[in-house]
Amino acid sequence: MQDHPIVWIEKVEDFLAELHGEELEVFDDGEQDGDVYIFFIAAADERTLLRTASRVADLDGVPPGAFAMVTDDAAEEFGMGRRVDLPTA
């Protein structure tokens, strides 16, 4: 794993690595897209994925404004889907 200049990114990657294969799948490394940093999680029901994303948003150092995009393999383009602000209630 590469060291990241932003410490929270490494915290999120470590957190997701602990869940990989047990509760969900983590696809690829996170990546920056414009002003956002994206982590890809899948292979679980929507409730589990959003609960995990909410837990990520609550990690120390994660900046405010986190959100999830709920999508599926049939999406026409990357990033298409329903936006859910995090953490969820």
Q: What does the alpha-carbon distance between residue 44 and residue 42 come to, in Å, rounded to a whole number?
A: 6
Please state the pTM of the whole predicted model: 0.84
In this model, does residue 1 exceed pLDDT 60?
Answer: no
Parent domain of 19: 7-85
The angle at the Cα of 31, spanning 16 to 77, to the nearest 5 degrees, equals 105
Whether residue 13 lies inside any domain: the answer is yes
In this model, does residue 12 exceed pLDDT 80?
Answer: yes
How many structural domains is the chain composed of? 1
Whether residue 1 lies inside any domain: the answer is no
What's residue 80's pLDDT?
A: 81
What average pLDDT does the segment 70-79 reach? 78
Whether residue 2 lies inside any domain: the answer is no
